Structure 1
């Protein structure tokens, strides 16, 4: 099987909170032990909406990397880098913009949604319109096979697949392509070559997806094939040209179960967050002052936990026994709201303690953090340069 390569990024626009930890970072911690992972600070993307407040981005870049490391992202397993330190992203974005129909960008659902949500900002900029294409360049330059996203970002991955397909269709027809593909089939040996031909015909003539998967597996298992021949055979299989840019799959991220302090989704825009490096006393105070079931005006009034934001936090932090205690105690007025909140405070602080201890260690040693990022940028740039070498070659830009 081909190596599964995962790419994911985050915009540096402020402190990371428990919503980020439960919604993104915990997933990254799992993925880094399962696949090759690249995680990047999307500082150029942050400029699409924060172009007039760059100081927020500048302050947040290093703090965000510290939060990642403190949460458990491990540079021994994952490559951590800054988007702006790999200028090849911008080069690929420019070259892809030459073949991208304007209508494709205008129909991306988040384009109009974000403009409406951020109506106070002037987002009628080229950068904002082209944001999905820069995102495509971020993904395609590393030949990422999987991109963890929420439901709302799936159209962006579909857009990226369309861009890759269009690019491969236009530029994948190298001179003598079919002859080179036929020569590559011979390298499979007579038996495997005949099987490849049979599977290719079954897929192209009747759209047999099983045949496509079997042929792809056959190519991946073949030892001694050059990368060029492998890509020619994969492209020839589907009736296209050589595959230069790989179509990624959206890897749906489990929805964050982390509610905010008011019961809505935890988000900076709702001002209902607990940040990863929040002082324990502040955390306790925030939870103690959370709103509860409005029916419980006095301590003796019974309540209904499912109408209370605190119950949503018990769903995240409490075991079955504790939840039973809350349900019975609240409905019978056997426990008060302050009592009910204490196990949540304990649960949140227990989760934050190791994160904050590691964050303090990294914050005290900024050179270590910068070295981790410098190493990551170097690794990422090596991969990006390799892709750009191929892209320039097929686009006729390798002048000598």
Structure 2
């Protein structure tokens, strides 16, 4: 956003939420507002980026429908994320068309805005590859280069595990949220898994396999990271002290985020206005893209 190199679009994927939470939708609207609050608190600027809610831009549903016509069923069935999520959410009945077609809707979300780059974690790479295949297939079938083939944009830490060492997931209750602060934040950091082979403080550790050290790489200074790296390997610092240091660094980094979060929670009308404006901007662009799609298909 701040580089000036990209036209950025961020949307609340409320339709995606329904694919697994179709029987419990009572919180979706409120969660959508809270997500936008989190974005703004973290630094997204509606003057530089388009922020909108997926379900407010009906063109996404039509493009999803049209893409589903050309997407081979086998592509969806062999998607590793589909199998992983079924196992992760085994307590729910996910044998639905909507859940299986989740990646096609995601593809529609991405290529609707002719994205060249998509910021994702490594767990989403299979979905991005499927999006690339769908874009290529559409362009080939209709002999018109309507959609660019998007590339994944990975950060320096493309995968951040949950506090229990598993994939960070709301269903696992192992996430550290932007809104976490004070005692809640400290308790979560204190419970984080570390080097499983380091049983005692006097044992040397291996930061390369320690999730706490990965978090330090995000929140601590380069000097602190270097010191922790060296000290851990020679048992010069214990896991408890390392976690206390991390909790302090995270609290410090999130302080301005919490300040902005508190402001927007007191001024929710601003959020509604930002969403309404973003919905309008996104609808205009999506409408133009869909017109190209219809022209290519000849409908």
TM-score by length of 1: 0.65
1:44 is matched with which residue? 15
1:324 is matched with which residue? 227
1:13 is matched with which residue? none
Task: After TM superposition, list the pairs within 5 Å mapping 1:220-231 onto structure 2.
Answer: none
Deviations, residues 170-218 of structure 1 (Å, cap 9, x unaligned): 33xxxxxxxxxxxxxxxxxxxxxxxxxxxxxxxxxxxxxxxxxxxxxxx
1:245 is matched with which residue? 147
Aligned residues: 293
Look up the SS of the partner of 1:358 in the other structure.
Answer: helix
1:63 is matched with which residue? 34
For 2:145 and 2:211, how far apart are their aligned partners in 1?
50
Match for residue 294 of structure 1 among 196, 199, 222: 199
Gaps of 5+ in 2: none
Q: Per-residue deviation at 1:395?
A: 2.8
Structure 1 contact 44–84 (Cα < 8 Å) conserved: yes
For 1:310 and 1:103, how far apart are their aligned partners in 2?
39
Match for residue 390 of structure 1 among 267, 287, 292: 292
Q: Per-residue deviation at 1:131?
A: 1.2
1:26 is matched with which residue? none
Task: After TM superposition, list the pairs within 5 Å mapping 1:178-257 onto structure 2.
Answer: 241-256=143-158
For 1:81 and 1:268, how far apart are their aligned partners in 2?
22
Deviations, residues 353-394 of structure 1 (Å, cap 9, x unaligned): 000001111111111111111111111100111111222233
Aligned CA distance change for structure 1 residues 289 and 394 (closer, same or farther; 3 Å): closer
Aligned CA distance change for structure 1 residues 318 and 101 (closer, same or farther; 3 Å): closer
- Answering whether residue 269 of structure 2 is matched by residue 367 of structure 1, we say yes
Task: After TM superposition, list the pairs within 5 Å mapping 1:78-157 onto structure 2.
Answer: 78-157=49-128
Q: Per-residue deviation at 1:145?
A: 1.7
Gaps of 5+ in 1: 1-28, 172-240, 297-301
Structure 1 contact 315–323 (Cα < 8 Å) conserved: no
Q: Per-residue deviation at 1:325?
A: 6.8
Aligned CA distance change for structure 1 residues 355 and 395 (closer, same or farther; 3 Å): same
Aligned CA distance change for structure 1 residues 162 and 362 (closer, same or farther; 3 Å): same
Aligned CA distance change for structure 1 residues 310 and 163 (closer, same or farther; 3 Å): closer
Deviations, residues 118-170 of structure 1 (Å, cap 9, x unaligned): 22221111101111111111122212122223333333233223323333333
- Answering whether residue 174 of structure 2 is matched by residue 272 of structure 1, we say yes
Structure 1 contact 43–84 (Cα < 8 Å) conserved: yes
Structure 2 contact 121–158 (Cα < 8 Å) conserved: no
For 1:362 and 1:323, how far apart are their aligned partners in 2?
37
For 2:216 and 2:129, how far apart are their aligned partners in 1?
37
Cα RMSD, aligned residues only: 2.9
- Greater Rg over alpha carbons, structure: 1
Deviations, residues 229-265 of structure 1 (Å, cap 9, x unaligned): xxxxxxxxxxxx3322333223334434645444555
For 2:193 and 2:106, how far apart are their aligned partners in 1?
39
